Structure 1
Amino acid sequence: MNKIASQGSVRTKELADELEVTDETIRKDLELLEGQGVLVRTHGGAVPARRGQRELTLTERQLLNREAKQAIAKAAAQRIQPEETIFIDASSTALGVTQYLPDFPITVITNSHDVISALAGISTVELVSTGGVFESRSRSFIGLDAERSLQRYNIHRMFFSGNGLDLQRGVSEGNSRQAAFKEHVMAASEDVCLLADESKIGRRSAFFFGDCTQLSTLITTSKADKSITDSLKNLGIEVITA
């Protein structure tokens, strides 16, 4: 923890070499420390836990739990049906859905600059941008104009993520404007599908924007807290393990 505080990040292999233990030992220690809320694991290492003082950029978020996010994104894309209108938010997990879209006509609404870039020019996708105020850290459009644009559409499926899912309080975000925007998308969507790896299950962030009862589906991993996923099932929420 002294090293992560002074350097801003640590690498698993470097720690294993320095402490003369196996990589697996370091990974287990990092997993334990992440559970205590003092750090966040990344691909190949860890960074300090974000305690509301700094929102991670999209690039930084893409490095976290990459394999889990890709598995979740693939499972999400398999739910899409022909001619549906879907919403993909600006989260790193939802961005992965663009890699697995089925080869039939759909409409994709998004507030994500990177989703627009990924899908531009694909003939089977009618691409709709919400517009709004561009937020550089998340590379997304938010604000009143983005929220109002949603009123024109019936969204069949919403694919989104957040910083945490708490059984009592619901889904939360670290950014108040992102939370407000996602609340509007949920209200406009028939099927509300949360994409959340195990690190987000049972966590709370600064701003809550949706109750668990508003969720239709949770796609997560086998490492997610079973007591929480079982409780969600009891609420009538479909829980899919990727």
Structure 2
Amino acid sequence: MLVAERHRKIVEVVNEKLSVRVTELSKAFKVTEETIRRDLEKLEKENLLRRSHGGAVSIQDEQSEVSYTEREITNSLEKKSIAIEAVKLIKPGEQIVLDASTTAWYMAKEMPDVPLTVITNSIKVAVELSKKEQVKVISTGGMLLPKSLSYVGPLAERSLNMYHVNKAFISCKGVHIEGGLSDSNEWQALLKRQMMLISDQTILMADSTKFGVRTFAHITEIGQVSCVLTDSNLDEAYSRALEEKGVKIQTVGVSP
């Protein structure tokens, strides 16, 4: 395969899967990981994709919402594993807030039926939790984003101001040591920031492909996060950088 053809196909794969690892591309194209890294560097300079730790992410429609269907199949094993560990951090009787991420939905599916109060801007999370009799669910309301089935906007932000919670569980599109947390959608970024402001602790749930990435809308600085839950593919350098900023990090193994 010619180099130009490989580059074209790499961009196609990244745009189709939204994010992909160097190891996957190396196996798919039967070249070394170092070759793939050079390919990604060149393609990033051409503004065809964005490199992330361990791989690359798509920059197509970066400021628009990604549909739930697409997000469910992107790094789903990592997200499920992270969600299982996140549920273990919840104590009966607590008040928590969950964002509209796929990982939060996986959390809702895994959550035991115990006394809890959960605030969320996600329709899918609310519906999942409605199956649990002891869980009190509060929806933010607001402007509906149909692709992500979530509420955002001034009404959603004002409704959060009425509450105080023990823990906020959020995800985001980008985690950057200097640039902080970011999201592709400005409305979501503003709401996640408000979720953090009303909580005693913020637990960030982000798979390793999100690290080293900066997207459109800034949420907050990385030091504002209490704990990071990620998968075991995260580079040790990022773990050290987070710990230097006083952020606790917990990596989880990925179960098939």
TM-score between the two structures when normalised by the length of structure 2: 0.79
Q: Deviations over 1:94-142 (max 9, x none)?
A: 2111122133211111000100111113111001101111111111000
Give, in whole Å, the separation in 1 of the partners of 2:209 and 2:27.
23
Q: Deviations over 1:67-92 (max 9, x none)?
A: 11100000000000010011111011
Give, in whole Å, the separation in 2 of the partners of 1:141 and 1:103.
25
Give, in whole Å, the separation in 2 of the partners of 1:122 and 1:26.
49
Give, in whole Å, the separation in 1 of the partners of 2:251 and 2:164.
27
Name the structure 2 match of 1:191.
201
TM-score between the two structures when normalised by the length of structure 1: 0.83
Does 2:140 match 1:130? yes
Are 2:113 and 2:133, in contact at CA under 8 Å, matched by a contact in 1? no
Q: Residue 74 of structure 1 aligns to a residue in which SS?
A: helix
Name the structure 1 match of 2:189.
179
Give, in whole Å, the separation in 1 of the partners of 2:128 and 2:188.
21
CA positional deviation for 1:204: 0.5
Number of residue-to-residue matches in the alignment: 228
Name the structure 1 match of 2:156.
146
Structure 2 unaligned regions, length at least 5: 1-6, 18-25, 51-55
Give, in whole Å, the separation in 2 of the partners of 1:112 and 1:34.
34
Among 119, 123, 131, the alignment partner of 1:113 is 123
Report which structure shows greater RCO (CA 8 Å, sep ≥6): 2
The Cα RMSD (Å) is: 2.9
Name the structure 2 match of 1:104.
114
CA positional deviation for 1:27: 11
Does 2:223 match 1:216? no
Q: In 2 relative to 1, CA 207–123 (structure 1 residues): closer, same or farther, beyond 3 Å? A: same
Aligned ranges for residues 63-74 of structure 1 at < 5 Å? 63-74=73-84
**Percent identity among equivalent residues?**
33
Among 82, 88, 98, the alignment partner of 1:88 is 98
Which residue type is aligned with residue 166 of structure 1? Answer: H
Are 1:73 and 1:94, in contact at CA under 8 Å, matched by a contact in 2? yes
Give, in whole Å, the separation in 2 of the partners of 1:128 and 1:30.
50
Give, in whole Å, the separation in 2 of the partners of 1:176 and 1:22.
36
Name the structure 2 match of 1:156.
166
Name the structure 1 match of 2:4.
none
